[in-house]
Amino acid sequence: MTEPSSKARAGPGPVRGALAGGRRELVAWARKRVGGAAEDVVQEASVRALEKADQLSDPGAARAWLFSIVRSLVAEEGSKRRTEPLDVEPAAARGEVPDACGCVLKQIESLTPAQATLLTRVVVDGASVSELAGELGITVNNAWVRLHRARSALKKQLGAHCGAQSLRQCLDCGCVERGCCR
């Protein structure tokens, strides 16, 4: 006859219960940190939690334990994103049109001249924000603020013109068929 362990283990029951009752909360928490990868992170956390459910000694701590697993996976996901190389070559240097239908370039023209110049220099020509700040005689922080405001104005303008609020919507808009942005 074997002796019982000095510390009883909770088993998978409390983990399953915490997953069933708290999955939405876990996904919402993860979505704030990793966006669209949240479902995958919570799924991976669920698998890990169920595989190691025998390590949970306090059934009342199952929810907190799940959050700690999700937190760990969010950190791993964040480090993966930071190590992926970014394509920072300007669109003009790659010989690509920055958008499929011409809306972005056309709608940049409808912004104030200062905003249009700023966006064109940074996004299309590939100028750095610090380089542009020097040209304009402003601080780098001020240049970032102006760039943010210009991007916000462009997003608003695109939304008003063709309803596009994202790149996917912009690629699917009807401006090519209407011929309004070429």
Question: pLDDT value at position 139?
Answer: 92
Residue 26 three-state SS: helix
**Per-domain residue ranges for the chain?**
12-83, 91-178
- Of 152, 141, 158, 62, which is closest to residue 106 (Cα–Cα)? 158
pLDDT one-digit tens code per residue, 127-146: 888 888 898 899 989 999 99
Question: pLDDT value at position 91?
Answer: 46
Lowest-confidence range among 5-9, 116-120, 153-157?
Answer: 5-9
Spatial separation of the C-alpha atoms in residues 147 and 128, rounded to whole Å: 11
pLDDT one-digit tens code per residue, 67-94: 888 888 888 876 665 544 444 454 445 4
Packing angle, helices 38-51 and 62-83, rounded to 10? 130
H or E element, residue 12: helix 12-34
Region 159-163: what's the mean pLDDT? 76
- Say which CATH topology domain 12-83 has: Rna Polymerase Sigma Factor; Chain: A (1.10.1740)
Answer whether 12-83 and 91-178 agree in fold: no
- Of 147, 173, 149, 177, which is closest to residue 159 (Cα–Cα)? 173
**Which CATH number describes the domain made up of 91-178?**
1.10.10.10
Spatial separation of the C-alpha atoms in residues 78 and 72, rounded to whole Å: 10
Reading the block at residue 98, the tokens are 């920055």
